[in-house]
């Protein structure tokens, strides 16, 4: 079961309030995404798609920096979409209430210059990641860019212990007091125990992208389980 698609209010509120604290490298990844947009020359007259957009906080930043683009925001949670509709007002955007499975099976006519996703694709198993990455490739224009910011699976149990320890330390460093840090206690083990989380290793996902035909496939940043990687359709 994927709690996000079951409108779990507590989970949604917790994520929106705490994402800066609980996600390692959040600000850095958003900044890097803006830099990639500039580097790959997609600053204007471009169509963007945010897959698993949540409350649209990343799209909002992108649109404020590059207002002469359109953004489609897709999410499968009705409750998240309601929050998004209240927060995200723009003439250049389209809100799509649809889960990844539906989008993958849709005949997508529109082609995008950039498709990005943050903290969402790890809810698909490896088979469906491959299916989604393939669909993304089809939905991109030539020279279109795909960027994924996501949690990845540690390669061994020892590495998992180390990366979870780094994650916990990062949360403690970002919280101001013990009460605040207690709110996030046991987050790594809770994340691991939820069946909705199906992370794959970074290497296996880079392999999928290359196998599909993406070029310039690389990881730009990785801190423990938090990674950011991309590929271009040339
Ligand atoms: C952790 S939130 C991240 C939101 C946003 N991308 C961000 O980084 O702020 C994950 C989002 O992915 C969406 N999501 C999860 N699984 C999905 C699926 N199978 N299809 C569509 N959306 C999904 C959830 O509804 C949720 O809004």
Is the separation of the CB atoms in 221 and 29 below 8 Å?
yes
Check if 99 has its Cβ closer than 6 Å to any atom of ligand 1.
Answer: yes
> In terms of pLDDT, which residue wins out, 24 or 109?
24
pTM equals 0.98
Is the separation of the CB atoms in 80 and 4 below 8 Å?
yes
Report DSSP letters for 159-197, one per residue: HHHHHHHHHHHHHHHH-SSHHHHHTTTTHHHHHHH-TT-
Q: What's the Cα-to-Cα distance from 127 to each of 22, 98, 123, 124, 205, rounded to whole Å? A: 28, 19, 12, 8, 11
Provide the residue ranges of all domains of the chain, joining segments of one domain with +: 3-233
pLDDT digits (tens, 9 = 90+) for 86-100: 999 888 999 999 999
Check if 77 has its Cβ closer than 6 Å to any atom of ligand 1.
Answer: yes
- CATH code reported for the domain at 3-233: 3.40.50.150
CA distance 78 to 6: 8
SS3 at position 211: helix
Tell me which residue has its CA closest to atom 13 in ligand 1.
Answer: 52
pLDDT digits (tens, 9 = 90+) for 176-233: 787 888 899 999 999 999 999 999 999 999 999 999 999 999 999 999 999 999 999 9
Tell me which residue has its CA closest to atom 8 in ligand 1.
Answer: 118
Check if 14 has its Cβ closer than 6 Å to any atom of ligand 1.
Answer: no
Tell me which residue has its CA closest to atom 26 in ligand 1.
Answer: 54
CA distance 186 to 168: 8
């Amino acid at each position: 079961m994927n709690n996000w698609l079951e409108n779990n209010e507590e989970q949604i509120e917790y994520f929106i309030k705490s994402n800066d604290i609980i996600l390692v490298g959040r600000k850095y990844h958003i900044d890097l995404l803006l830099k990639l947009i500039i580097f790959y020359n997609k600053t204007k007259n471009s169509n963007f798609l945010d897959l698993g957009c949540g409350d649209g906080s990343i799209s909002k930043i992108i649109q404020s920096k590059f207002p002469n683009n359109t953004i489609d925001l897709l999410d499968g949670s009705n409750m998240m979409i309601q929050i998004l509709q209240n927060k995200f007002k723009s003439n250049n955007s389209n809100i799509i209430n649809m889960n990844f499975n539906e989008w993958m099976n849709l005949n997508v006519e529109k082609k995008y210059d950039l498709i990005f996703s943050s903290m969402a694709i790890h809810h698909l198993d490896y088979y469906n990641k491959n299916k989604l990455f393939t669909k993304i490739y089809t939905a991109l224009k030539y020279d279109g860019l795909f960027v994924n910011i996501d949690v990845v699976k540690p390669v061994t149990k020892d590495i998992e212990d180390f990366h979870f320890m780094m994650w916990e330390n990062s949360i403690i460093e970002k919280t101001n007091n013990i009460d605040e840090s207690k709110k996030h206690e046991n987050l790594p083990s809770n994340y691991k125990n939820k069946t909705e989380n199906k992370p794959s290793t970074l290497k296996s996902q880079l392999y999928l992208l290359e196998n599909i035909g993406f070029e310039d496939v690389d990881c730009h940043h990785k801190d423990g389980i938090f990674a950011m990687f991309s590929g271009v359709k040339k």
